[in-house]
Structure 1
Amino acid sequence: MGPRRSGLNRRALLAGGAAAPFAIAGRPAAAADVDAVVIGAGAAGIAAAHALRAAGRRAIVLEARGRVGGRAFTDTSLGPAFDAGASFIHWAERNPWVAIAREVGIATTAESRGGGFQLFADGRPMAEPDRRRRRDAFRRIERRLEAADLDARDLSIAELIGDLGPELAPVAASGLLLSIGEEAGRISARDYRRLWSGDDLVVPSGYGDLVARSAAGLDIRLAEPVEAIRWDGPGVAVTTPSGTLRAGACIVTVPVGVLKAGTIRFVPELPAATRDALSGLHMGALTKIALKLEGDRFGIAPGTSLLEAAAPERLLNLLMFPGGKDLVIGFCGGDYARGLCEAGAAEARAHLVDLLASMVGSEIRKAVKQVSFPAWWTDPHARGAYSVCDPGHETARDALARPIGGRLFIAGEATAGGGAMTVGGATLAGRAAAAALLARKA
């Protein structure tokens, strides 16, 4: 990853002693150093910290990365900027980022439909009968989800569409790989149907850049991975390599994948109800791979999508020259994306270049220069793109959001209910956790 343009005032961001040591671990019990510690400087952590600050509470945000924003990240390592993670302000009618963007003076626009879609099968243009079959399959899955009777029990989306047959069902489900980033058999139909919908907006200067700018003025300590949280006293003690910080309460906004990996040790361990909620959630693997191209654009209109769809389980969308930039961005999800993440940037680059050469012509190989591969699935600070609810565990999000012992609060896109899997949902969840903490302190 290259340098990030965030516009943040680093002195303001790190005010309060980013380089200063924390309290010494093992010192005698003392009053809390701060009112609250917020773990994670993504959208949820930023929102929670702002809400606490507005209420006159002192909060310190601890962030394991060397930057803010979490899975909202505008990558400039290739020169032209692109959103390596979240890129849409979904359900803009009620998404808080519409107002936040206006407050910080950053423009948003309606989603552009670009140059249209071209469908391919093994790098060759797809036959029209196959194109029609795909369109019909996509329509059927939406109708099934709208009409399904899920009162008796939750189903996976794969079960919901299973009677479409072994040929049509995988095609119908393949679109979920580019929206949810997961295989249909691992997605709760009840949870999916609960997700909010509405108009989408985009941030031309970068959604990640907007999120980073919104953090200005907060006390954020970068490169401070949390190792342990002790919560068996009247407050909490949060340990990082710099020492131990004591607070009245703690808001934990790290991704579900990080919580499940045990990266942060809880003393005592989290309650059974919280562990059960975590066991009902996992991380999807929606993935982007960006290539820098120079020279000929081969007659392709900016914003055109080249969709490789020969094998439904390996659906790959290649977005060509988005916004007129010299970039190609590949999107994929599910086990296919997991495999690419685990293979690494060099193999992912070779895979995309081979595919482009078969679609456009071998001359494109000369145009491809650098690659940026923000592999969220193998990123230790993310361990996936965003949370997915397992079939039969549709109550897990609400259960995970319940306060623990009056001093631990878990918040993020995973606890956002209908706003799950989005930056907007994470923001609403961070605000809700802060409100719960303040109510407890009132």
Structure 2
Amino acid sequence: MSIVTTQPSDGLSRRGLLTAAGAAAVGLGVLPGQAVADEVTAYDAIVIGGGFAGATAARELRARGRRPLILEARDRIGGRTWTDTFQGKRIERGGTWVHWSQPHVWAEMMRYGLPIVEDPGPDRVILSTDAGPRSFPPAEAFGRIGELLNRVFEGSSALFERPFDPLFREAEVRAIDGLSLRGRLDQLRLPPQDEGWINGFTASYAGGTNARGAYTQMAKWWALAGGTNSAWGTATGHYRVEPGTGALVQAILADSGAQVRLRTPVTSVVDNGRQVVVTTRSGERFTAPIAVVALPVNVWKTISFSPALPAAHAAATREGIGVPNGTKIWLHVRGDIGRVYAQPAEGNPIGSLIPFASLGDGQLFVAFSFHDTFDGTDLRQVRDAVQALEPKADVVSIKAQNWSKDEFSLGAAAYMQPGQLTRLHEALQRPSGRVAFATADIALGWNGYIDGAIESGVRAARSLG
């Protein structure tokens, strides 16, 4: 595999040099690159996007005898996963957790011999009460939340009898697909404290508000995980790739043999019936018999497609599947607060606060925010929000990634809205002429997870023959 970094007109920037140096450090060949307007270069296949979906699609195309080109808009690979460092610790600024119930990512872990690491649990849990945030023993807090979740998703395993074929029981799924998480919680008529304990949990997946999120989305995940709260907890937030998600996507890319061009945003995709012509922001053009668009659904609308996107694809990118407000925040916290986990009620600026590691002068936490007016990149706002949950917490520094304001994601992880599964899902799996679409957002199974990105990449490449 070779990596080309596209230069600005005044020569290779310092950032481009650092990108090339970083690629060389992980053992990837690096070539100097210069974008030239009106130049046309032909390949066997083009993959737009260098995240897990794109990397997997490229490897699958290579296995089918094609020489793929990957065009990646960012100055790094990984898409909505991003292994970085903070306070001397390896962190993930995007997608993180894996599990053996996620078959596609687990197969890749075994293939490349990458170990996992288990995140330790908290020693206390802060939840909302009528009197404000209060600490509870983990067994009591998680025990009650588990009982509530089992009620919320009762019957999910029957509804999604074959969860990797989510419309296997189409009539039953269609009958309930218009229900939001808010609607499901309203059906249960929970006491105020139970409502406060559970609505923040579900809202943190749906993008901050239960009214936005489809009940069927989380019900499908629930069935995929095993249909119980204990299975859910270990399947979705307990194990990480020990050397980082970056190590896994790099391994997949290395096997793809693809040429990777970084800092190369795409503006146009034209399928003229004989070949696909892809034009970049700098004016450079590439052609290939087939192409895979491996970008988040929310980003499709920023590209000009000819012919126009099919109706379902156009609706999906207009409505959005990636949650519209999503910031992942790493925090260096001082203060005698222990390994505290916080899960406030829906509407709080902090969706959840999770302990990660001890530091020499404090602790490292990770938080998620889905609040539309809260700036998770602002230290003062973050400090105030955390102290409203735990007054002893002194947030001294942060590293945050607002995926919603990232022009190449325009949203955080996937969570479908009511009606989208039955209205859009099947059509989103199909290619449009010589162009296929791959993204974790539209995966059959674990959409929104690394597993879904890998599944989607394989399926898209195979759909083009």
TM-score > 0.5, shorter chain as reference: yes
Matched residue, 1:339: 373
Q: Which residue pairs with 2:382 in the alignment?
A: 352
Shift of 1:9: 3.6
Answer yes or no: is the 8 Å Cα contact 1:4–1:76 preserved in 2.
no
Task: Return closer, same or farther for 1:238/1:150 CA change in 2, 3 Å cut-off.
Answer: closer
Cα offset, 1:135, TM superposition: 5.9
Match of residue 66, structure 2, among 35, 50, 57? 57
Residue matched to 1:99: 107
Residue type at the aligned position of 2:272: D
Give me the whole-angstrom Cα distance separating, in 1, the residues matched to 2:302 and 2:111. Answer: 36
2:95 is paired with a residue whose SS is: coil
Call closer, same or farther: CA 1:86–1:11 in 2, change over 3 Å: closer
The answer as to whether partners of 2:181 and 2:202 remain within 8 angstroms in 1 is no
Could you report, residue by residue, the CA deviation over 1:99-134 in whole angstroms, capped at 9, with x for unpaired residues?
A: 32344343213x3342333215599761769x9799
Distance 1:43 1:401, change over 3 A: same
Q: Distance in 2 between matches of 1:46 and 1:419?
A: 18
Q: Measure how far apart 1:344 and its partner are.
A: 5.5
**Equivalence for 1:258:** 299
Q: What is the CA deviation profile of residues 288-323 of structure 1, one whole-angstrom value per residue up to 9, with x for unaligned ones?
A: 211235xx66262xxx233152x4321543223426
State the distance in 2 between where 1:104 and 1:9 align. 20
Q: Does 1:178 align with 2:214?
A: no
Q: Which moved more, 1:64-73 or 1:317-326?
A: 317-326
Q: Any residues of structure 2 matched to 1:170-319 within 5 Å, and which? A: 171-195=197-221, 196-197=224-225, 199-200=234-235, 201-216=239-254, 217-240=257-280, 241-259=282-300, 262-279=301-318, 281-284=320-323, 285-293=325-333, 298=336, 300=338, 304-307=339-342, 309=344, 311-314=345-348, 316-319=351-354
> Does 2:150 correspond to 1:145?
no
Map Cα deviations across residues 267-290 of structure 1 (whole Å, 9 max, x no partner): 232122432344564222443211
The Cα shift of 1:421 comes to 0.7
Instruction: Give the 3-state SS of the residue equivalent to 2:409 in structure 1.
Output: coil
Once residues 230 and 133 of structure 1 are traced to their aligned partners in structure 2, the CA distance between those partners, rounded to angstroms, is 54
Contact 2:128–2:196, Cα closer than 8 Å, also in 1: no
**Match for residue 400 of structure 1?**
428
Report the secondary structure of 1:214's partner residue.
helix
Q: Is the Cα–Cα contact under 8 Å of residues 89 and 95 in structure 1 kept in the other structure?
A: no
The letter of the residue matching 2:377 is: A
Q: Does the CA contact (< 8 Å) of 1:73 and 1:209 recur in 2?
A: no
- CA shift digits 1:199-255 (9 cap, x unpaired): 533223322343234323431100000011111331110001151001111100111
Secondary structure in 2 aligned to 1:185? coil
Q: 1:383 and 1:84, CA in 2 relative to 1: closer, same or farther beyond 3 A?
A: same
- The answer to whether the Cα contact below 8 Å between 2:267 and 2:303 also exists between their aligned partners in 1 is yes
Q: 1:248 to 1:237 in 2, by over 3 A?
A: same
SS of aligned partner of 1:373: strand
TM-superposed CA distance for 1:95, in Å, is: 2.6
CA distance in 2, matches of 1:244, 1:39: 13
Asked if the contact 2:321–2:441 (Cα under 8 Å) also holds between the matched residues in 1, the reply is: no
Residue number in structure 1 paired with 2:443 = 416
| Cα distance change, pair 425–275 in 1 and its aligned pair in 2 (3 A) | same
Aligned partner of residue 175 in structure 1, secondary structure: helix
Instruction: Measure, in 2, the Cα distance between the counterparts of 1:324 and 1:352.
Output: 19
User: Residue 306 and residue 269 in structure 1: after superposition, are their counterparts in 2 closer, same or farther (change >3 A)?
Assistant: same
Q: Is the partner of 2:278 in helix, strand or coil?
A: strand
* 2:47–2:58 Cα contact (<8 Å) kept: yes
- Tell me which residue corresponds to 1:24: 38
Q: Deviations over 1:393-439 (max 9, x none)?
A: 2132332121101x0101111221222011111111101111111x2
What is residue 157 of structure 1 aligned with on the other side? 181
Distance across 1 between alignment mates of 2:136 and 2:110 = 44
Contact 1:318 1:331 in 2 (8 A): yes
Query: 1 CA distance for matches of 2:363 and 2:114?
Result: 23
Unaligned runs of 5+ in 1: none
- Once superposed, what is the RMSD of the aligned Cα atoms? 3.4
- Mapped to 2, the partners of 1:356 and 1:160 lie a distance apart of 29
Which residue does 2:93 correspond to in 1?
A: 84
Instruction: Provide TM-score, normalisation by structure 1.
Output: 0.81
**C-alpha displacement of 1:146:** 2.4
Write the mapping of 1:39-50 to structure 2, written as runs, cut at 5 A.
39-50=48-59
Aligned length: 410
Match of 2:409 among 375, 378, 382: 382
Q: 1:210 to 1:49 in 2, by over 3 A?
A: same
Cα deviation for residue 151 of structure 1 reads 5.4
Report the alpha carbon displacement of residue 87 of structure 1 after superposing the two structures with TM: 1.2
Aligned to 2:461: 434
Indicate if the aligned counterparts of 1:33 and 1:246 stay in contact, CA closer than 8 A.
yes
Gap regions ≥5 residues in structure 2 = 1-14, 157-171, 227-233
Cα offset for 1:66?
Answer: 0.1
Find the aligned partners of 1:48 and 1:386 in 2 and give their Cα distance. Answer: 20
Call closer, same or farther: CA 1:5–1:119 in 2, change over 3 Å.
farther
C-alpha distance in structure 1 between counterparts of 2:437 and 2:318, whole Å: 15
Which amino acid is 2:181 matched to? I
